[in-house]
């Protein structure tokens, strides 16, 4: 074999070894770049899990006994309904104990949050406590399905600004009330044709201008506001 061929073969061997060495050096460095581009996961802080309370599921048999006991220890009687138009402060009547304690209970359970004023009748009422969100349906399922008996013997009148409880959608001769909904009378001086049929359990003490503003919103032919009017309800000390 000539010296020239030997030299060529030697040079080819050298280039092959050099290329292999280069390939090996590239692999780790490419992998390293990829690892650097991946977000570094920060250690998660331990979330403090609140102890889960055991709530009974309410129904027509246990609701009244439950609220009879509940109203003795839960004496709060002022709530705030917060909307994008402002706040509506309401004082609840102690002489309608089941309806007051029902409203306080639902407020503490967070039921009303993210529900809406879903019915507006111009010059008459605004009605709230419902929505078409799955969250609302889920909350109702967790709290229970029950109705409250009317309590119209206290002499309260449907003056402008009172909060009252509508009867259930189900036709019932005793006007049993839907516990999840309420309406506020906007009509002046009042909607007295409702007296004796629906339970008045409180009154607006601040924020009737907000009630008036909600009552002016554009509605469709089902008396539903064209733009959702969400609410948050909290206890006032």
pLDDT value at residue 168: 75
* Residue with token string 């309806």: 99
Neighbours of 124 (CB within 10 A): 16
- Low-confidence residues of the chain: pLDDT under 50: 3-51
How many whole angstroms separate alpha carbon 140 and alpha carbon 148?
A: 15
Q: What percent of the chain has pLDDT over 90?
A: 69
Q: Are 198 and 206 in contact (CB under 8 A)?
A: no
pLDDT value at residue 46: 38
Assessment of whether the complete model's pTM goes beyond 0.85: no
How many whole angstroms separate alpha carbon 210 and alpha carbon 224?
A: 17
pLDDT value at residue 169: 67
pLDDT value at residue 5: 46
pLDDT value at residue 232: 98
Is beta strand 199-206 parallel, antiparallel or unpaired with respect to 86-92? antiparallel
């Amino acid at each position: 074999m000539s010296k020239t061929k030997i030299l060529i073969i030697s040079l080819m061997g050298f280039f092959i070894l050099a290329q292999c060495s280069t390939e090996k050096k590239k692999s780790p460095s490419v992998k390293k770049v990829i690892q650097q581009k991946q977000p570094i996961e920060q250690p998660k802080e331990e979330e403090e899990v609140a102890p889960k309370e055991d709530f009974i599921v309410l129904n027509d048999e246990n609701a009244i006994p439950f609220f009879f006991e509940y109203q003795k220890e839960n004496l709060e009687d002022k709530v705030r309904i917060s909307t994008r138009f402002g706040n509506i402060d309401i004082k609840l009547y102690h002489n309608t104990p089941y309806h007051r304690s029902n409203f306080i209970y639902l407020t503490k359970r967070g039921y009303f949050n993210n529900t809406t004023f879903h019915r507006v009748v111009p010059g008459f009422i605004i009605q709230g406590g419902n929505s078409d969100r799955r969250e609302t349906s889920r909350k109702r399922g967790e709290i229970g399905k029950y109705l409250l008996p009317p309590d119209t013997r206290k002499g309260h009148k449907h003056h402008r600004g009172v909060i009252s409880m509508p009867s259930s959608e189900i036709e019932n001769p005793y006007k049993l009330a839907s516990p999840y909904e309420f309406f506020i009378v906007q009509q002046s001086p009042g909607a007295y044709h409702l007296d004796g049929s629906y339970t008045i359990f409180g009154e607006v003490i601040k924020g009737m201008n907000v009630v008036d503003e909600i009552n002016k919103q554009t509605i469709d032919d089902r008396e539903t506001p064209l733009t959702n009017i969400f609410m948050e309800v909290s206890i006032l000390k």
